[in-house]
Chain A
Amino acid sequence: GPKVLQIPSHQIIDMGQMVTLNCDPVSNHLYFYWYKQILGQQMEFLVNFYNGKVMEKSKLFKDQFSVERPDGSYFTLKIQPTALEDSAVYFCASSLASIQDTQYFGPGTRLLVL
């Protein structure tokens, strides 16, 4: 099936540093998503992105978070500065169409903030 790739698979950083998580979505997909899963908790929606704009974000999408997809390259989630509570697995997803279409998920990036 369609594959979403995420780079890196693991990242360890010190609190206060900036981190960028990269997502390579399915090639012809137009809608992109980030989800966050803290260890032992349910996966939760962060944000979705279409046509260069944030379409919806949750309360977990703090001011320190930003997303972009410059020139059709990676879809990125940047956290600046990071906090201890940002430690989680971050999953990227993409879909061809909007909410009426299947979301395909990447394998996740495990972020540990020390």
Chain B
Amino acid sequence: GDQVEQSPSALSLHEGTGSALRCNFTTTMRAVQWFRKNSRGSLINLFYLASGTKENGRLKSAFDSKERYSTLHIRDAQLEDSGTYFCAAVASSGSWQLIFGSGTQLTVMP
């Protein structure tokens, strides 16, 4: 089965509200990256975490390798936050590859 399970698959928010995206891992991961895919299909880097939490503006991410999950919190959502968000994790088995989640399609409404 999939090693990275991302939820929800779709999320609608009103401007000014917030929510959280989550990725659960079926195995221990070494690190996680979060991306947003823009309208042109490019992957924009949001966070890289090997542990703990990071915050950047209205976004905050956490990664717990032992508990096998990562979260991305969005607060005070704006229209321009709309897009598809992906988590991708690096397995701890010595692999080099990023294992991607299936994405969360976020729509921010006025």
Q: Name A's B-contacting residues (CB within 8 A).
A: 1, 31, 33, 35, 42-45, 48, 55-56, 58, 89, 91, 93, 98-108
A102 x B100 contact (CB < 8 A): no
A102 to B47, CA, bound (A): 8
Partner of B41, one of A45, A98, A108: A108
A102 x B41 contact (CB < 8 A): no
B97 x A45 contact (CB < 8 A): yes
What chain A residues lie within 8 Å of B74 (beta carbons)?
none
B96 x A105 contact (CB < 8 A): no
What chain A residues lie within 8 Å of B42 (beta carbons)?
105-108
A44 to B101, CA, bound (A): 10
Interface size class of B (residues with CB under 8 A): 20 to 34
A43 to B96, CA, bound (A): 15
A44 to B86, CA, bound (A): 13
Interface members, chain B 91-110 (any A CB < 8 Å): 95-103
What chain A residues lie within 8 Å of B2 (beta carbons)?
42
What chain A residues lie within 8 Å of B99 (beta carbons)?
45
What chain A residues lie within 8 Å of B97 (beta carbons)?
33, 45, 48, 56, 58
